[in-house]
Amino acid sequence: MNFLARRVMTGALTLLGVTFLVFGLSRIQGDPRSILISDDASFDQWQEMGKQLGLDQPVYKQYQIYVVNLIQGELGTSTLQKKPVAGILLERGRNSALLAVTAFSLTILVGVPLGVLSAVKTGGIYDYAIRMFAVLGQALPSYWVGLLLILIFAVGLDWLPASRMSDWTSLVLPTLAIGWLGVSGQIRIIRSSMLDALDSEYVQLARAKGVAERTIIWKHVLRNAIVSPVTFASLTFASMLTGSIVVETVFAWPGLGLLSVNALNNSDYPILQGVILLAALIYVLFSFVTDVVYMMIDPRIRIQ
Amino acid sequence: MSQRLTFANSPATFVRRLSKYHVGALVLAYILVILMAVVFIVGCSGNIEHLAESFTPPRIATSAPTAIATSAAVVGDVAAPEPPHATFDRTFSLAQSDLTFPAMVPSQLPVGPGGYIHRWGVYETAMKWSVDEPELEPRLITDWKMDSDGLGWILKLKSGVQFHGGWGEMTAADFVWSFEDEIRETSVHSGIGLARSTGAIIEAIDTYTVSIRLNQPSSFFFEAFLSNGSGAATKIFSKARVGTLGVDDAFLDISGGTGPYVFEKWNPGDEVVLRAFDGYHGMPPYVTTVHILEIKEPATQLAALKTGQIDASLVPAPLAADIASEPHLGIQSFGIPGSQRLYPQGQFCMDRTLDGTPVQPYPRPGYAPEKPWVGDCDSAVSLESARKVRVAMSMAIDRQSIVDNILDGFGRPSYLPEVVPPLLDRVWQDRWFIPYDPDAAKILLEQAGYPGGIDALMRITTGSHPLEVEIGQAVAQFLGALGGDVTTEVLTYSGNRPSVVAREQSDLWFRSSGGGTAEPPEISQLRRNPENAFNPGMEIKEPLAIISEMDSITSSEELDEVRERLYDSFSHNMWIIPVVLADQILGMNTDKIESWRMSSGSGYLGDFENIRLK
Amino acid sequence: MNLSSNVPEKNASGVLGSSYSRRHRLLRWPIFSLVVLFVMICLAVFAPIIVPHDENLGFLEDRHQPPVLFGGTSNHILGTDSLGRDVFSRVVYGARISMLSALTALVIGGAIGTALGIFAGYMGGWVDELIMRLVDVKFSIPLILIAFAMVVIFSPSFGLLLGLLTMFVWGQFTRQVRAEVLVIKTTDYVAAARTWGASPAQIMYRHIFPGVISTVLMIATFQSGAVILAEATLSFLGAGVPPPSPSWGAMIADGRLYLDTAWWVSLAPGIAMGLFIAAITLLGDWLRDYWDPKLRQL
C-alpha cells in the first residue's frame, strides 16, 4: 500500500480508538444524572433528565450517535457553561498555544545548543553540568518547580507576576516551568543521537580522511542525528499545545489544562471528552506530518 | 524498522548520498520554527488584553427596546445626576478558587452560585442582612407587613429600581415571575420543597405591591425566600429579559440584575468583572470596578496577594499569621464560619416518607447494619449500640486541638451539626457540649461490642475549604487512636456525589464547607427527606418528624422549644458528628483598603459596595 | 505533557556497535547513582527499623516543627508536618511506597508491554497492526487527564493508582521491544529454530525473549523516574496515593501550601525524589552505554 494512504489510515484508526475510549469514559462513571441533578430534585425530574440525555437508548446506539455527531464537528455542549464545547476549546486553546509556543521555543533555543555542547564535550565539566540540569528537569514535578519559581521570582524578588495571563511578563514563569521538562528531554535526546552519530562508521571514515572536526560535527553528525530530536520536538510540541494541566492550574493560566481540571472537578464530561479528543487529534496530526517530512527526506522509509 | 540507521551500504556511499540533501535543510527548518514562534509571541502578547476581551459573553444591552432604554436613562439622570464614580476609577481585585458560571435564570440557578451573585451585589433580594446588626433591612422593598392570620405578607416594592442592561423598571410582575420561575416544576432551586410544602402563592396586587400567601404557617418561609441569607433567597430577575431572549440565551446573558454592580464580563474559569451600575437605586458604590479572578491553587492565591497582584483573597488559617506579618497586608475574619462535619453513613431506616409514600428502592443499597455505626433498623438493641459507637467516635475527636493547631485559633469546636452563629449562640445549651474523652469513648465502644476500636474508611471530599484534607486526616487520626484501623480516601465532592445520590454509601464521610449561611439548618441542611435526590447517607424518621413539626409554628418561643428538642435528639444520637466551625479569614492589602464591612448574614465573600479605599 | 521522553523506533538495533569495546573502556562507574540508590533502597527496606516515629501518627501539638538545624529538636530531625507527623519517618516510608508502586507498575506494565511487543513483532500482520494502533492510542491521549478522570469516577485507592501507573508504562516497552524483535526475527538462529519445527510460542519465549531482556531492563530503569513523577502529578490533582500513607509525591503536594512558612514539609520529600530520579536516570544512562551504545535513544 502507498505509504501516505497507509499513514492516513492508521491515524484515522487511532482516532477511532480514542473516541471509543472517550465514550467509554463518560459511561463508566455511571448514570450522568447522579452528577447533574440538584440536591432537591424529585424523581420526576430524574426521569425527565434521562430522556433529555438520551439515556433511554441502548449503549451501542448512543455510541453511534456520538461518533456521527463528532464527524459532523458536533462536540456537544458543556454541562457547566451551557455553551458549545468547540467554541470553548478554541478560546482556551489559544491561551494554551501561546504558552506552548514559548515553551517550545525555549526547548529548541536552549535544548539544542546545550545538547550539542554536551555531546561535543563528552566527559567534560560542561557535559556534566548540562546533564545534571537535564536530569533534574526530568526529576522534579513541574507544578512544584512552578510554585518554587513563583516564590523566588514573584514573592521573593518581585520581578515577575505571580500568576494569570496579562502582558508578556506573565508568560515567563509558566514557560520556565513547562519548558524545563522539554529542554531536558531535548538535551538528552540530542546528546545521545549526536554521540551515536559520532560513533558511527562514516564519521570515523570522515575522520580518517582528515575532515576537520568542526565540519564533521556540523555537517555530518548533526544532520544525521537530527531525526529523533525532530520527532521528539514535534511530539513534545503537540503535547504542549493541549496545555499542561498542573502548570496551568498553578499559574491560573486560562488554557485547556486548567479547563479540563475544572471540568473534572465539576463533572463536565463533554468538555473533558473534547480536550482528550483534541489532544489525540493534534498528536496524530503532528506525528503524521513528521513522518511525511521524513519520507520526503529519506526514501528508504517508504519501504517500511 | 531499524535497518534505517544501520548503515548497510558502505559508509562512503552513505556520506555521498547524505550530501545530496543540503546541510542546513533541517537546521533551517528549526530556525524557521523559532522565527515563527517569536513572531507569534510578539504578535499575541500585545493582543492578550484584546483576546481576553473577545471572550466576553454576549451582552444584550443594545438589543433592548429603545423605549425602556430611554426611560432608564431618564431615571438614571434623576437618581444620580453626577455619580461620584464618573470621575474616579476605583478598582479592586480579589481571588476566588472556583467560580461556577451561574444560570442567569431563576429556575436553573444552583444554590452555590445563587449565593454569590447576590452577595456580590449584582442581584438583589427583598431584604438584606444589615452590616452592623444581625437583623434584616429592606432592600428592594420599602415596607412589608404580615397578614393578620400569620399566613401571608404584603410587600411594598421600591419604585424606580432599574434592571441592568436596559430591561426597564422592576415591578411587581418581575417579582412574581422570579418567584414563580424559581419554584416551578422543573426548577433545581433548593427552596422548592419548602415552597411546595407551604403551598406558597405569590400575586401582584398593583405595580408596586405583592402579596404572598401560604396554606399553612411556616416559620422559615420569610427568611428563606426574602432575605439574602441563603442561596435559596429569591433574587429578582427581569421578566422581560427572559421573555425577549428566551430561556437558553437568558441562561448565558449576564445583564438583568438590579444591584449596585453589573456584570461587565464573565469569563468562565478565568475572571469576572463587575462594574458599578450607573442607574442604581441606592447609594452608588465607592469601588467602581471589581475584578474577581479565579485562581485555583491556594498557594498561588497567597503569592498573588503578597506581590500585590490582587488586593484580597481568602487565607487558610495556618497562614494567617504569615500574611499578617507582611507590612502591607492584614487579615480579618468575616461572615459565618463553615461547618466541618462527619457523616456516619448507612443508617437508612425509612421505608416510607413522612407523608406515607413508599421509598424506592428499599432497603437502600447502602444500608449496612454490619457497620459499627449503623444499627439494625428493627432492633432497638442494635440501634442503641450503633448510637454508642457514634457517640464514642464523637468523644474521641479533640476538637479544641484541631482549632488550636490546624485552625490556629480561627474557629471553634462544633457540637451541633450545621448549626452556626448567630443561631448557635442564641440557642446554645451547655448539655450539648461533647468532652474530648478517649477513655470514656473506649468504654462506650466496649459496651457496643468493639473493644479493639473500629475499622473504618473515611472519605474526605474536597473543593470547599483549603484545610479540609488536613482536618479530615486529623479526625481520622483521632478515630484511629481508639485502636481500630481508619483509612482515608480523598476525592472531589462531585466524584463522591453519585454514590451518595444512589444511597450506596455506608462509610464515614468527612465533609466541609467554606462558609455557612444565615438560614437555619432546618430549612435545608438537616431536612434531607428520602424523596430528595441528595442526603448525607442517612434516612431516619425522628429528626425529620421534628423538623416537619417546626414548619407550622410561627411563634418564635415555641419554635425554639421544638428546635431544642431537635438538637437534643441530634446530640444524643450523633447522626451527624460535628467537628469544628472554621472561620473564614480574609487577607487584604491594608495599604489600599481602608475598610471592608461585610454583613453578618452569609458566608460568601461579598458586599463590595461597602469597601472603602485609601 | 509527555511524561516519558518519546522513543523513536528507528535506533533499536540488536547488533552491537563496533565501537562497543572502546566506549566500554571509557565508562566510569556511576558512583553517585550507586551510592544514592543504595542508601535509598536500604532506607526503604529497613524502614520499620530506621524510623524513629510512627509515620502515620502524629500529635497536632507538634505541628510544623522545623528541622534540627533550623531550630528544631533532634526528636524530629527533618521537622514535622501539618498533622505533627515526623517528616523523616514519612520520607523513609515514602521511599518504600514510591519505589514499591513504581516497581509494581513497571513489573506489570513491563510484562504486558514486552509480551505485546514480542507478539506484535513476531506475528506481524493484523495482530501487529492492532497492537500498534493500541500503542498509538496510548501515546496520543493525555494520560494524566485520563488517570485523573478515572480517579474521580472510581474512588481513589492504591490498587487503582497502580493500575493507572501501569497504563503509563506499557506502551514504551511494546514499541521498543517490537522494533527489536523485527531485527531478531531475521537472525539465523531464529530461522534455524523455525526449520527445526519449534512452535511460535517456543520461539518467542526461548529465542526472542532473551534477546530483548537488556532493552526491557533499560526501559524499566528510565521509566521508573517517569512513574514516580506521574504519581507526584496525580497527588497534586488529589488523585495519588491515598492518605495517610506517605509517598514522596503526596508529601510534596500536601506541603505545598506551606512552602513559604514550613518549607521542610514539601522540600524534604522533593529533594529525596529529585535525588532518586536523577540517580536512577544516570544509572540508566550508564547501563545503556555499558550494554549497548546503540540504544542511546531511550
Q: Of A265-269, B411-415, B541-545, where does mean pLDDT reach its minimum?
A: A265-269
How many percent of chain A have pLDDT more than 90?
A: 0
Confidence class for position B516, pLDDT limits 50, 70, 90: confident
Above 90 in pLDDT, residue B198? no
Contacts of B488 in chain C (CB under 8 A): 242-244
- Of residues A249 and B27, more confidence is placed in A249
Nearest to A194 by CA among A115, A134, A125: A115
Write phi, then psi, for B573 (nearest 5 degrees): -95, -20
Range of the domain at B165: 58-294+592-613
Confidence class for position C187, pLDDT limits 50, 70, 90: confident
CA angle B448, B453, B457 (to 5 degrees): 110
Quote the CA–CA distance of C124 and C176 in Å, as a whole number.
Answer: 15
Q: Of B125-139, B345-359, C256-270, where does mean pLDDT reach its minimum?
A: B125-139
Q: Is residue B446 part of a domain?
A: yes
Confidence class for position A36, pLDDT limits 50, 70, 90: low
E strands within B111-240? 127-129, 136-138, 141-146, 152-157, 201-206, 209-213
Q: Do B477 and C63 touch (CB under 8 A)?
A: no
Quote the CA–CA distance of B33 and B589 in Å, as a whole number.
Answer: 44
Distances (CA, A) of A195 to A116, A225, B21, B383: 9, 8, 21, 74
Quote the CA–CA distance of C98 and B67 in Å, as a whole number.
Answer: 69
Closest-CA distance, C114 to chain A, in angstroms, reads 21
Q: Is the CB of residue B13 less than 8 Å away from at least one CB of chain A?
A: no
Residues B390 and B442 in one domain: yes
Closest-CA distance, A186 to chain B, in angstroms, reads 13
Q: In the prediction, which pLDDT does B72 show?
A: 35
CATH assignment at residue B108: 3.40.190.10
Q: What is the mean pLDDT of the segment spanning C127-139?
A: 90
Q: What is the mean pLDDT of the segment spanning B585-609?
A: 83
Quote the CA–CA distance of B567 and B560 in Å, as a whole number.
Answer: 10
Closest-CA distance, B10 to chain A, in angstroms, reads 9
Above 90 in pLDDT, residue A58? no
Above 60 in pLDDT, residue B74? no
Q: Chain B, 425-484: which have a CB under 8 Å from a chain A CB?
A: 463
Q: In the prediction, which pLDDT does A125 show?
A: 84
Are residues B329 and B301 in contact, defined by beta-carbon separation less than 8 angstroms?
A: no
If you write DSSP's letter for every residue of C160-221 in order, what string do you get? HHHHHHHHHHHHHHHHHHHHHHHHHHTSHHHHHHHHTT--HHHIIIIIIHHHHHHHHHHHHH
Q: In the prediction, which pLDDT does A38 show?
A: 61
Amino acid at B419: V
Q: In the prediction, which pLDDT does A299 show?
A: 57
For residues A253-281, b (16+ Cβ closer than 10 Å) or e, as one string?
Answer: bbbbbbbbbbbbbbbbbbbbbbbbbbbbb
Among the partner residues C183, C242, C254, nearest to B2 by beta-carbon distance: C183
Contacts of C237 in chain A (CB under 8 A): 245-246, 261
Residues B600 and B502 in one domain: no
Q: Do A38 and B188 touch (CB under 8 A)?
A: yes
The pTM of this model reads: 0.81
Q: In the prediction, which pLDDT does A42 show?
A: 63
Q: Do B295 and A163 touch (CB under 8 A)?
A: yes
Among the partner residues B4, B405, B496, nearest to C61 by beta-carbon distance: B405
Residues B136 and B201 in one domain: yes
Above 90 in pLDDT, residue B388? yes
Quote the CA–CA distance of B551 and B354 in Å, as a whole number.
Answer: 13
Distances (CA, A) of B512 to A119, B112, B229, B537: 55, 14, 19, 15
Domains, chain C, with CATH or none: 77-296 (1.10.3720.10)
Query: C-alpha grid cell for residue A64?
Result: 453511534
Q: In the prediction, which pLDDT does C21 show?
A: 41
Above 80 in pLDDT, residue C146? yes
Q: Is residue B42 part of a domain?
A: no
The alpha carbon of B32 is separated from its chain's Cα centroid by a whole number of angstroms, namely: 50
Q: Is residue B314 part of a domain?
A: no
Q: Is residue B41 part of a domain?
A: no
Instruction: State yes or no: ipTM above 0.85.
Output: no
Residues B481 and B537 in one domain: yes
- For B587, the 3-state DSSP assignment is strand
Residues B408 and B548 in one domain: yes
Among the partner residues A40, A155, A259, nearest to B269 by beta-carbon distance: A259
Q: Is residue B492 part of a domain?
A: yes
Q: Do A261 and C2 touch (CB under 8 A)?
A: no
Amino acid at B326: E
Q: In the prediction, which pLDDT does B36 show?
A: 59
Q: Is residue B368 part of a domain?
A: yes
Quote the CA–CA distance of B250 and B257 in Å, as a whole number.
Answer: 12
Distances (CA, A) of B209 to A191, B315, C164: 80, 44, 62
If you write DSSP's letter for every residue of B492-525 in order, what string do you get? EHHHHHHHHHTT---SEEEEE-SB-BSS-TTTTT
Above 90 in pLDDT, residue C53? no
Q: Do B405 and C152 touch (CB under 8 A)?
A: no
Residues B602 and B524 in one domain: no
Confidence class for position A230, pLDDT limits 50, 70, 90: confident
Neighbours of A126 (CB within 10 A): 14
Q: What is the mean pLDDT of the segment spanning A286-301?
A: 73
Quote the CA–CA distance of B304 and B326 in Å, as a whole number.
Answer: 13
Quote the CA–CA distance of B162 and B73 in Å, as a whole number.
Answer: 10
Per the listing, cell 402579596 goes with B211
Among A30-44, A64-78, B60-74, C214-228, the range with the most confident prediction by mean pLDDT is C214-228
Q: Do strands B577-589 and B508-512 pair parallel, antiparallel, or not at all (unpaired)?
A: unpaired
pLDDT, tens digit (0-9, with 9 covering 90-100), for B15-66: 344 434 444 444 555 555 555 555 555 444 444 444 333 333 333 333 333 3
Q: In the prediction, which pLDDT does B386 show?
A: 93
DSSP B102: P
Among the partner residues B18, B101, B309, nearest to A81 by beta-carbon distance: B101
Q: Do C244 and B477 touch (CB under 8 A)?
A: yes
Q: Is the CB of residue A162 less than 8 Å away from at least one CB of chain B?
A: yes
Q: Chain B, 527-546: which have a CB under 8 Å from a chain A CB?
A: 531-534
Quote the CA–CA distance of B281 and B142 in Å, as a whole number.
Answer: 12
How many percent of chain C have pLDDT more than 70?
A: 89
Confidence class for position C12, pLDDT limits 50, 70, 90: very low
Q: Is the CB of residue B28 less than 8 Å away from at least one CB of chain A?
A: no
Above 90 in pLDDT, residue C25? no
User: Best residue in C90, C155, C298 to probe B by mutation, most B CBs within 10 Å?
Assistant: C155
- Of residues B473 and B15, more confidence is placed in B473
Residues B201 and B107 in one domain: yes
Among the partner residues C5, C229, C249, nearest to A185 by beta-carbon distance: C5
B98: exposed, middle or buried (C-beta count within 10 Å: 0-12, 13-18, 19+)? middle
Above 50 in pLDDT, residue B14? no
Query: C-alpha grid cell for residue B429?
Result: 445549651
Among the partner residues C60, C238, C258, nearest to B402 by beta-carbon distance: C60
- For B358, the 3-state DSSP assignment is strand
Q: In the prediction, which pLDDT does B412 show?
A: 92
Q: Is residue B374 part of a domain?
A: yes
Q: Is the CB of residue A55 less than 8 Å away from at least one CB of chain B?
A: no
Closest-CA distance, B144 to chain C, in angstroms, reads 48
Per the listing, cell 464591612 goes with B597
Contacts of A283 in chain C (CB under 8 A): 139-141
Q: Is the CB of residue A122 less than 8 Å away from at least one CB of chain B?
A: no
Among A150-154, B78-82, B386-390, the range with the most confident prediction by mean pLDDT is B386-390
Q: Do C5 and A29 touch (CB under 8 A)?
A: no
Are residues B522 and B560 in contact, defined by beta-carbon separation less than 8 angstroms?
A: no
Q: Of B69-78, B377-386, C221-230, C243-252, where does mean pLDDT reach its minimum?
A: B69-78
Per the listing, cell 527489536 goes with C180
Quote the CA–CA distance of A126 and A131 in Å, as a whole number.
Answer: 8
CA angle B379, B380, B381 (to 5 degrees): 90
Distances (CA, A) of A242 to B392, C50, C145: 50, 44, 11
Residues B503 and B599 in one domain: no
Above 80 in pLDDT, residue B85? no
Residues B373 and B518 in one domain: yes
Residues B285 and B344 in one domain: no
pLDDT, tens digit (0-9, with 9 covering 90-100), for B301-356: 999 998 888 999 988 888 888 888 888 999 988 888 888 999 999 999 998 888 88
Contacts of A297 in chain B (CB under 8 A): 21, 25-26
Among the partner residues A17, A139, A189, nearest to C297 by beta-carbon distance: A189
Q: Is the CB of residue A232 less than 8 Å away from at least one CB of chain C?
A: yes
Residues B266 and B413 in one domain: no
Are residues B167 and B255 in contact, defined by beta-carbon separation less than 8 angstroms?
A: yes
Q: Please state the length of chain C.
A: 298
Among the partner residues A82, A200, A230, nearest to B7 by beta-carbon distance: A200
- The sign one gets for the Cα dihedral A30, A36, A40, A42 is negative
Confidence class for position B243, pLDDT limits 50, 70, 90: confident
Beta bridge partners of B456: B486
Q: In the prediction, which pLDDT does C16 show?
A: 36
Q: In the prediction, which pLDDT does B248 show?
A: 81
Q: Is residue B312 part of a domain?
A: no
Q: What is the mean pLDDT of the segment spanning C189-209?
A: 82
Q: Do C242 and B406 touch (CB under 8 A)?
A: no
Are residues B214 and B199 in contact, defined by beta-carbon separation less than 8 angstroms?
A: yes
Above 80 in pLDDT, residue B473? yes
Q: What is the mean pLDDT of the segment spanning B223-237?
A: 80
Quote the CA–CA distance of C273 and B563 in Å, as a whole number.
Answer: 54
Quote the CA–CA distance of A129 and B95 in Å, as a whole number.
Answer: 40
Q: Which residue from A minimizes the CA distance to B536?
A: A39
Residues B407 and B472 in one domain: yes
Q: In the prediction, which pLDDT does B566 show?
A: 92
HEC secondary structure over A151-204:
HHHHHHCCCCCCCCCCCCHHHHHHHHHHHHHHHHHHHHHHHHHHHHHHHCHHHH
CATH assignment at residue B349: 3.10.105.10
Amino acid at C134: L
Quote the CA–CA distance of B384 and B377 in Å, as a whole number.
Answer: 10
The per-residue pLDDT of chain B, averaged, comes to 80
User: Best residue in A27, A39, A245, A303 to probe B by mutation, most B CBs within 10 Å?
Assistant: A39
Neighbours of C66 (CB within 10 A): 16
Q: Tally the domains of chain B.
A: 2
Above 90 in pLDDT, residue B580? yes
The per-residue pLDDT of chain C, averaged, comes to 81
